[in-house]
Structure 1
Amino acid sequence: MKTLKTLTIAYTPDSDDAFYYDALETGLIPLPGFRPHFFTENMSCLNQKALQGVYDVTAISSVIYPQISREYAILNVGTSVGRGYGPVLVSREFSKMENLNGKRVGVPGIPTTGWFLLKCFCPDALMIEMQFDEIADAINAGNLDAGVMIHEELLYYPQLGLKCVADLGAEWCQRHDLPLPVGLNVIRRSLGTASMERICSGIRQSLEFSLAHSSEALSRVRRMGRGEAGQCTEKFVSMFANSDSVRMPADVREALNVLLCQVVDLGMSSEMPQLTIIEGMIPERIHAHKQVG
């Protein structure tokens, strides 16, 4: 029997990422030649571990890609894309970005795409790094004046009595007439081209299986994010696990180039990386191991 190669896959503890991998993680879709091991950590931790080269496949904030481009290629599956939306700046007291100059604003990691957008649009805010799901409570406790919402917090914050100051993702999209590639899925180059292509294809089939059996997949991933009580899983998954995530379209590739050029201009990287995108070969359809539903 051929020995299976261990493959480490890391994603955020949120419903959209869990939706991508549900069929692989539950064994409904196989990944021939590999034994995947899954890890969940918040985006700030995943960014740091990508810089250290810890995982074979990992979610990252798009803005850190120039720093890891020599070790990782971009997968053409699992991109989180905001079409007219993205990280949201919220507050209890303030209603305009210009009122936040010098104010304490929580950001879900430095660097993250949410932090990057705030730095672009409200550079004089005092940015305080916090875990993403603690920012809203810190605002309500008076420890922050405002904060950047990501993940399911994008939809949940009104239930906590907070108000939108600005949809930073929408602002970026409007200024550039492009969608916003908030997050990427990347893969270790040292796996080799054939393996990277095969893994990309397997992840795509997992996502396609979840989309085709969405009720069953959603019932399993509701444990993530704000959970059943949050009542935002289905809407959130539809925002960030969709056709843009199945295959990165041309306008998202264009947007990624624009975003990363801005990252270089901001001094986060010395040069614009060459974008290597693993397309995922299209083998014969891999059938599910068992029937669902």
Structure 2
Amino acid sequence: MALSLAFSPCPNDTFVFHALVHGLVPGAPPVEVTYADVDVTNTAAQQGAYDIVKVSYAALPWLLDDYQLLPCGGALGRGCGPLVLTRGDRTDLTGATVAVPGDRTTAYLLFRLWAQGQQPARIEVVPFHEIMPGVAAGRYDAGLVIHEARFTYHRHGLTALVDLGEWWESDTGLPIPLGAILARRGTVDPVAAADWIRASVRQAWADPAGTREYVLAHAQEMEPDVVDQHIALYVNEFTADLGEDGYRAVDALLRRAAVAGLTPTAPQISSSLATAWTR
């Protein structure tokens, strides 16, 4: 029986899951794939829509009763945080209209933690690909962007007001947790699922050219050099294994969010599956 698997069409996800999707991981079951932006998967996972799913770390407080966090396959790192973009030299967002990619994304949670004390007049959830053009055209005073936008925002004549990754890292000393991979409890063996995903990551690293056609087919007209930068930045040692720093980063994010009253309190995030990687 095929497992249902959902992740974004972004290059880091298609690169990571190429081998699993194409039946190249020995012992792994077939999968039925849904490609969707993380704002969609965050919502769908609340209804238990998928067996294995990529979501925002910020959504975990609503999902951990039904899903287990896996120690691999996600997006976490350094120098890879969301950016807040404007058209000029604005230094404060009080009274501003801000476009964000989703209300339960890690990017938006980081924005809310950073922006405490500022009072934007309006927050609008906007499809990711519409944010930079919308800010450039004056429909929004600022935009919160992720992923490849950090390589291309200059083309829209925009300025980075803050790099939320740099802010987070300087404040905590920890990497920034962005996207998590979850396995549905009672449906998927989390240790087996982690083994399949880690094997898929290893195959992608061993033969990146083998993933190329698949990655580019889903890259939404992204230029090949931007695709390469995207993968190099977001597929890193934390993709293979969160490790103690990764778990500490996730726990710090969720603890801060709960203390600030931005999310429900989540269970402590720890390396409960760390032994899976010693085999």
Give the Å deviation of 1:92. Answer: 1.3
1:80-113 alpha-carbon deviations (Å, 9 max, x no partner): 11313300111112342x2x21101111000211
Q: Which runs of 5+ in 2 are unaligned?
A: none
Out of 52, 59, 64, the position equivalent to 2:47 is: 52
Name the counterpart of 2:97.
104
| Count of residues paired in the alignment | 275
Establish whether residue 160 from structure 1 lines up as the match of residue 156 from structure 2: yes
Q: CA deviation at 1:60?
A: 0.8
Q: Does 1:62 align with 2:54?
A: no
Distance 1:242 1:156 in 2: 21
C-alpha displacement of 1:144: 0.5
Moved more, 152-161 or 243-252: 152-161
2-side partners of 1:11 and 1:154: how far apart?
A: 21
User: Which TM-score applies when normalising by structure 2?
Assistant: 0.91
- Aligned partner of 1:6 among 2, 5, 10: 2
Matched, 1:171 2:164: no
CA RMSD of aligned residues (A): 2.0
Asked whether the equivalents of residues 227 and 233 of structure 1 are also in contact (C-alpha less than 8 Å), the reply is: no
Output the CA distance in 1 between the equivalents of 2:233 and 2:110. Answer: 19
CA displacement at 1:280 relative to structure 2: 7.5
Partner of 2:84: 89
Partner of residue 203, structure 1: 197
Partner AA of 2:16 in structure 1: Y
1:27–1:279: structure 2 CA closer, same or farther, 3 Å change rule?
same
Corresponding position of 1:15: 11
Find the aligned partners of 2:201 and 2:30 in 1 and give their Cα distance: 18
Whether contact under 8 Å (2:248, 2:269) holds in the other structure is no
From the superposition, tell whether residues 229 and 238 of structure 1 become closer, same or farther in structure 2 (CA, over 3 Å): closer
Residues 107 and 146, structure 2, Cα contact 8 Å, conserved in 1:
yes
* Residue 123 of structure 2 corresponds to residue 127 of structure 1: yes
Shift in alpha-carbon separation, 1:280–1:159, aligned structure 2, 3 A = farther
User: Which runs of 5 or more residues in structure 1 are unaligned?
Assistant: 285-293
Q: Is the 8 A contact 1:199 1:280 kept in 2?
A: no
Conserved 8 A contact 1:43-1:60:
yes
Q: What percentage of aligned pairs have identical amino acids?
A: 27
Contact 1:73 1:275 in 2 (8 A): no
Q: Normalising to structure 1: TM-score of the pair? A: 0.87
The runs of at least 4 consecutive aligned structure 1 residues that moved more than 2 Å come to 26-32, 93-96, 222-231, 266-272, 274-284
